Every structure is written in structure tokens, then in C-alpha cells.
């Protein structure tokens, strides 16, 4: 059985997912695409030897009876409309982050989905599918080293040319916000944002790095460093201090060299390399879950909670104070 997929938005990530599904994954085929730029879309499909229907309008693609399920990889502000349309059409939909550009928009999707009576939406938080994070989660859920007390995390990128304002928080930290609460099976209750001495090696006017402190219901302290102009590489760290030991994400596998008076391994520079395997697992599991009719990845509710968290962090950044994060009771629908 093969899942017939329609993809809305054929930009960088849309192309990546199409290539992944076509060349590396099983049990799905791309049958329909929609994008504002038909010419480029056609060129891409023909280059990849994929024949798929073209829809000028994403809504039409969603409603097409030839399409079983939808991938939304279009421009962020359009996500909400497409996801709502998919839910209304009763079709499974995988939406790249953000689920919607506002927490309110996410909430609407949650409400629509609850009304539809069936989990249909998955959000593209791929870190949950990374082998390292999954191993970390096992260590915690089996209490191999007792309870977790403190998490020290870092999200570092060599440079962020287009970044301005609060994008470090609203755009890249959302992955941490999702994966850490999934890791801990806990929720956030407060946030504080500290702006240390800033690096000079970034665009003028940008504050970089930030340190975000989150507390959870269980009292766990999470320290996240966001440093998007760290120069040296793309480096995602997560170190958990438990009652009887600590455990950290694996360093990405690398040759070991002895050269020029250094014993060294390589640090990834290109972020796309870091989670390439996680993307594969994420989409294959989504395809398989969709074929089985049961969503189990990051839900619309998760997308909503992350949006609320990001909003409070922005507030905390500007106030300098410890701000409360009020997340409503999780609907039984999502339990």
C-alpha cells in the first residue's frame, strides 16, 4: 500500500522532503504539488523524474480526491490556513514549523482538530526522531541515574546572516522548547532571558548570545544557550544532570585525527547535516502512522504549547524578569 502525498510549497525544505520521500523512503509517493512558482516546480520535478499533478491553489490540492495526505512546507504565514483546510477535509497533514505564526492561530487548529474528533495534524519538530535524543529519553524514563535535576543545552550555529530582532528565540529555539518537554515529560512554568556580553562577530545591532532559563512543574532547571554566530560550527548540546550521574547527547560521529599537534574530531558546520537522519525517520514514521490511521508524533497541542512558550520568552527578554508560563490543562483528547 502506497500513501499518495500532496506537497504545498516547493522551497528548500519542500524539495528536501520530496527527494527524501522519492529516493530514500518507503510506501509513499508524491502525486500532487502546489507552489506559486510553477516553472521552478516543474523544473525540479522533471530533474528528479517525478510526475505529479500541479495545483495553482493549495486548497484545491488538499481537496483533491487523488491526495491521501498533505505536507505543508510553504511560507510560515500560510500554514494555518492549509492545516485548517486539511483538518476540515479530514486528511492527515504534516506541517513544518511553525504550526501557525501566533499562539492563537495554533489554538484554533487545536480546537478544529478536537471538533473533527480525530488526530490529523503532526508538526515538524524533528528532534524527537534523532537517535541521540531518543537515547536520552530512555535514560530519563528508565531513571537510569535517578531523576533529572538540571539541563544544560546549547544551540549554536556558525553564523545567522539573515537574523534580526528576536528570531533566535522565535525561529530556532522552538526546537529546544519542543524536544525538552518531550524529553522530560514535563511542562514549563516560568522563563527568564539573560543577555550576556554580546559577540562582536555578528550583524550590527543583533544581541547574541542569549541564555534562556526555564523551570518546569517538577522544578527542573533548564539552561539554554542560544548562540547563532558562534563561528566554529553547528553544535547542538544537551547535558542532563541527574541525581547520580550526568548524560549528554552524542557528539556526531567523526573520524579522529592526530595532526598538527592536535587530536581532533570534526564538528559539523552545515545544520542540514546534523538532523538529516532525524528527518528521514520523522517522515517514514509519519508515513507509516498515516497508513495505519494513527498520528503519534508532535501534535497540534505541542505546536500550541511551543508557541505560548516562545511568546513568554520574548516577553521575558524585554522585561528582564522571571515571567510565568501559563499553559492550560492538556485536553483529554491529546492524552
DSSP letters, 34-81, are E-S-HHHHHHHHHHTT---EEESSHHHHHH-TT-SEEEE-S-GGGHHH
If binding is defined by CB under 8 A, does position 115 make contact with its own copies?
no
Strand arrangement of the beta sheet that strand 121-123 belongs to: 53-55, 28-34, 3-8, 69-72, 92-95, 121-123
Nearest distance, CB of residue 228 and its own copies, angstroms: 13
Which of 16, 187, 225, 285 is the binder for its own copies (CB under 8 A)?
225
Give Cα 207 to chain centroid, integer Å. Answer: 23
Q: Which stretch binds its own copies (CB under 8 A): 4-12, 56-64, 91-99, 242-250?
A: 242-250
Nearer to its own copies, 55 or 133 (CB): 133
Return all residues near 289 (Cβ < 8 A) that are at least 6 apart: 122, 295, 296, 297
If binding is defined by CB under 8 A, does position 292 make contact with its own copies?
no
If binding is defined by CB under 8 A, does position 259 make contact with its own copies?
yes
Nearer to its own copies, 76 or 198 (CB): 198
If binding is defined by CB under 8 A, does position 203 make contact with its own copies?
no
Strand arrangement of the beta sheet that strand 235-242 belongs to: 235-242, 148-156, 221-227, 210-216, 188-194, 323-324
Nearer to its own copies, 6 or 209 (CB): 209
Nearer to its own copies, 65 or 258 (CB): 258
Query: Binding string, 9-28, against its own copies, x = CB under 8 A?
Result: -------------xxxxxx-
If binding is defined by CB under 8 A, does position 146 make contact with its own copies?
yes
Kindly report the number of other CB atoms within 10 A of residue 253's CB atom: 7
If binding is defined by CB under 8 A, does position 131 make contact with its own copies?
yes
Amino acid at each position: 500500500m502506497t500513501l499518495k502525498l500532496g506537497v504545498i510549497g516547493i522551497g528548500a525544505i519542500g524539495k528536501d522532503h520530496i527527494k527524501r520521500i522519492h529516493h530514500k523512503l518507503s510506501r509513499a509517493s508524491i502525486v500532487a504539488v502546489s507552489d506559486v512558482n510553477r516553472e521552478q516546480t516543474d523544473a525540479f520535478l522533471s530533474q528528479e523524474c517525478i510526475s505529479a499533478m500541479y495545483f495553482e491553489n493549495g486548497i484545491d490540492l488538499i481537496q483533491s480526491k487523488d491526495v491521501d495526505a498533505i505536507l505543508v512546507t510553504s511560507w510560515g504565514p500560510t500554514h494555518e490556513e492549509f492545516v485548517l483546510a486539511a483538518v476540515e477535509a479530514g486528511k492527515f497533514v504534516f506541517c513544518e514549523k511553525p504550526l501557525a505564526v501566533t499562539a492563537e492561530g495554533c489554538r484554533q487548529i487545536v480546537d478544529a482538530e478536537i471538533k473533527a474528533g480525530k488526530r490529523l495534524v503532526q508538526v515538524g519538530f524533528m528532534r524527537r526522531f534523532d537517535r541521540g535524543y531518543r537515547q536520552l529519553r530512555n535514560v530519563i524514563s528508565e531513571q537510569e541515574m535517578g531523576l533529572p535535576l538540571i539541563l544544560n543545552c546549547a544551540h549554536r550555529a556558525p553564523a545567522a546572516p539573515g537574523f534580526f530582532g528576536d528570531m533566535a528565540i522565535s525561529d530556532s529555539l522552538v526546537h529546544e522548547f519542543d524536544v525538552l518537554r518531550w524529553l522530560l515529560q514535563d511542562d514549563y512554568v516560568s522563563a527568564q532571558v539573560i543577555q550576556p556580553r554580546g559577540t562582536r562577530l555578528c550583524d550590527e545591532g543583533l544581541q547574541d548570545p542569549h541564555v534562556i532559563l526555564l523551570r518546569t512543574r517538577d522544578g527542573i532547571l533548564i539552561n539554554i544557550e542560544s548562540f547563532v554566530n558562534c563561528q566554529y560550527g553547528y553544535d547542538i548540546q544537551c547535558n542532563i544532570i541527574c541525581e547520580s550521574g550526568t548524560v549528554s547527547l552524542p557528539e556526531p560521529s567523526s573520524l579522529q585525527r592526530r595532526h598538527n599537534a592536535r587530536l581532533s574530531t570534526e564538528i559539523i558546520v552545515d545544520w542540514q547535516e546534523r538532523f538529516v537522519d532525524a528527518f528521514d525517520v520523522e517522515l517514514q514514521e509519519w508515513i507509516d502512522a498515516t497508513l495505519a490511521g494513527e498520528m503519534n508524533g508532535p501534535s497540534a497541542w505541542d505546536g500550541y504549547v511551543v508557541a505560548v512558550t516562545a511568546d513568554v520568552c520574548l516577553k521575558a527578554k524585554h522585561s528582564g524578569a522571571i515571567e510565568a508560563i501559563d499553559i492550560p490543562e492538556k485536553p483529554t483528547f491529546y492524552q
